[in-house]
Amino acid sequence: MTNNNRFQWDLGRFIQTLTYFEVIPFVNWIQDFIQGRPNSSKNIPNGARQVGVILVAGATGGVGKRVVRRLLEQGYKVRALVRDIDKAQSILTDDVELVVADITKPETLTALVMANIQAVICCTAVRVQPVEGDTPERAKYYQGIKFYQPEIVGDTPENVEYQGVKNLIEATAKYLPKAGEELLFDFTKPSTKLKNTWGAVDDVVMGGVSQSQIQLVEETALFAGYVSTANSGGFASVRTKNFTPPFNLSGCEGVELRLRGDGKRYKFFLRTEAQWDSVAYSYSFNTEANTWIDVRIPFAHMIPVFRAKTLKDSPPIDASKICSFQLMLSKFEYDGELNPKFSPGSFALQVESIKAYGGVSLPQFILVSSAGVTRPGRPGINLDEEPPAVRLNDQLGGILTWKLKGEDSLRESRIPYTIIRPCALTEEDGDKEFIFEQGDNIRGKISREDVAKLCVEALQQTKACNVTFEVKEGENTASSIDWQRLFSQLQPN
């Protein structure tokens, strides 16, 4: 073209952009059919599911293996901490990531074991074997009550129930995300799925010639390219495909970006509608050249816009249905005003992570302990009326005493926790009503199946945060459970 500010528009790139984001579904269908590609919508991440891993310690035990199964059924990523890989492979399914470690040996609780954990469920316990000279009562107790993980000879209640649990707590504290934060995109761990989620949306969609791309390099997402004002253009951006179902961030205050820029001023967008050209909620931010910074974007400060024009009558963003994310470099600010830090040419923005912040705290460490842990040595206790574990605490190596010290380690750690103290465990099918109490006076029984159900449910209950409680089964079968009501009756420690 003869005009100095006119350049050849790239029709092919325009169609490629619309095809990538499935704006032209018929063209996508033809390409998938011809090339034998699976439907791309199946590759879009599930926004509603948290992306972290649930680490299960004691995963091959009676409670632990049931916890693993229930987590998988609910769509969690599960990592099992085991000491015997062959045993674990014979008990757990291939959907579980296995890591070999020993909570009694803190040097084995490495970054590989703890990487990207969202929460920990600890179901470890000493397996006690009868010894020569046991009293008939103690031998009978061993036969009726089974302690599962760990079971290596030489384990003692002190080593496992206290020191081992304490080791796991201390390792967990180093790697857990901060309470109230939810990691949405972790670019330090690149994957094909993550790469295929983001694509370029440049001013070619309106006749411009700017070009950009996103690459996963150096444990970051690199948004880089060249922005030009030719053909009345002037923006480059990268955007995610729509998430189905959308992210539900309604309990959070906003989004935080960890990034390193080039001194330019960028925009961040969220959309709550799946349409291609829909209302977006925008936030502008400055970067510091070659400097890592954290950019906090409160939902309350995001501006509803349509094609860089503010919408005065639009409602605030509905954070419960975030469909897509977008980063942009544009010559425009809003309503015709220019970006004060804009200049055409090359640019580069590295992003390490995107997370939601300010959410309500959920438990991040679930510890399965035991009812009766405070009763040995408690004044006024009639041992004849107590369960065998309480009566035989000293003969069992002080198992309840050390469990209590393990609990104390968790309470002192400042990790959001739930401590579950089940009564006598059984192999029954479960599905009974739950009876919660606090004060450690409860007696009864409960199935391992129901304890596992309780562990998994506690992960999503804000009222389960920082509470310790005893639990037994009721007489009636429970077809449905009002979890919120159950946990609301508990008092935090």
Q: What is the pLDDT of residues 399-453, one digit of tens each?
A: 999 999 999 999 999 999 999 999 999 999 989 999 999 999 999 999 999 999 9
Range 53-179+361-488 has CATH code 3.40.50.720? yes
Rounded to whole angstroms, how far apart are CA atoms 202 and 182?
A: 29
Strands 117-122 and 467-477: unpaired
Strands 424-426 and 467-477: unpaired
Beta bridge partners of 259: 293, 351
Rounded to whole angstroms, how far apart are CA atoms 36 and 42?
A: 14
Distance of CA 211 to the CA centre of its chain: 34
Percent of the chain with pLDDT over 90: 64
Instruction: Identify the band that residue 135 occupies on the pLDDT scale cut at 50, 70 and 90.
Output: very low
Rounded to whole angstroms, how far apart are CA atoms 404 and 399?
A: 9
Least confident of 1-15, 23-37, 356-370: 23-37
Least confident of 31-35, 198-202, 467-471: 31-35
pLDDT of 247 over the 50 cut: yes
Rounded to whole angstroms, how far apart are CA atoms 214 and 356?
A: 21
Q: DSSP labels for 423-460? A: -EEE-S---EEEEEESSS----EEEHHHHHHHHHHHTT
CA Rg, the chain, in Å?
28
pLDDT at 389: 85
Instruction: Identify the band that residue 356 occupies on the pLDDT scale cut at 50, 70 and 90.
Output: very high
Q: Is the preceding peptide bond at 298 cis, omega within 30 degrees of 0?
A: no
**Residues in contact with 155: Cβ distance below 8 Å, sequence separation at least 6, in sequence order:** 104, 126, 127
Q: Is the preceding peptide bond at 157 cis, omega within 30 degrees of 0?
A: no
Please give the average per-residue pLDDT across 155-170, as a whole number: 94
Q: What is the pLDDT of residues 445-470, one digit of tens each?
A: 999 999 999 999 999 899 999 999 99
pLDDT at 364: 94
Report yes or no: 461 and 453 within 8 Å, Cβ to Cβ: no
pLDDT of 62 over the 60 cut: yes
Strands 345-357 and 254-260: antiparallel
pLDDT of 482 over the 80 cut: yes
Query: Exposed, middle or buried by CB within 10 Å (0-12, 13-18, 19+), for 247?
Result: buried
pLDDT at 27: 43
pLDDT of 318 over the 50 cut: yes
pLDDT at 12: 67
Q: List the helix and strand counts (H, then E) for the chain.
A: 13, 23
Rounded to whole angstroms, how far apart are CA atoms 15 and 207?
A: 12
Please give the average per-residue pLDDT across 85-99, as a whole number: 95
The whole-chain average pLDDT of the chain stands at 86
pTM above 0.75, yes or no: no
Rounded to whole angstroms, how far apart are CA atoms 442 and 423?
A: 8
Range 184-357 has CATH code 2.40.50.140? no
pLDDT at 49: 36
Q: DSSP labels for 146-191? A: ---S---TT--HIIIIIIIHHHHHHHHHHHSPPTT-EEEEETTS--
Distance of CA 345 to the CA centre of its chain: 39
CA distances from 30 to 10, 176, 330, 361, 438 (A): 22, 45, 34, 46, 62
Instruction: Identify the band that residue 32 occupies on the pLDDT scale cut at 50, 70 and 90.
Output: very low
Exposed e or buried b per residue across 125-151, where buried means at least 16 C-beta atoms within 10 angstroms of its C-beta: bbbbeeeeeeeeebeebbeebebbbbb
Gap between the terminal Cα atoms of the chain: 74
Q: What is the pLDDT of residues 215-242, one digit of tens each?
A: 999 999 999 999 999 988 999 999 999 9
Instruction: Identify the band that residue 380 occupies on the pLDDT scale cut at 50, 70 and 90.
Output: confident
CB atoms within 10 A of CB 108: 17
Please give the average per-residue pLDDT across 9-20, as a whole number: 69
pLDDT at 1: 38
pLDDT of 45 over the 70 cut: no
Q: What is the DSSP letter of 335?
A: T
Exposed e or buried b per residue across 335-359, where buried means at least 16 C-beta atoms within 10 angstroms of its C-beta: eeeebeebeeeebbbbbbbbbbbbb
pLDDT of 146 over the 90 cut: no
Instruction: Identify the band that residue 5 occupies on the pLDDT scale cut at 50, 70 and 90.
Output: low
Degrees, nearest 5: CA angle 409-414-416: 100
For the chain, the domains span: 53-179+361-488, 184-357
Rounded to whole angstroms, how far apart are CA atoms 438 and 424?
A: 16
pLDDT of 298 over the 90 cut: yes
CB atoms within 10 A of CB 182: 20
Per DSSP, the three-state class of 314 is coil
pLDDT at 34: 41
Query: Exposed, middle or buried by CB within 10 Å (0-12, 13-18, 19+), for 192?
Result: exposed
- Per the model's pLDDT, the better-predicted residue between 198 and 5 turns out to be 198
Instruction: Identify the band that residue 16 occupies on the pLDDT scale cut at 50, 70 and 90.
Output: confident
**Residues in contact with 313: Cβ distance below 8 Å, sequence separation at least 6, in sequence order:** none
Rounded to whole angstroms, how far apart are CA atoms 23 and 15?
A: 9
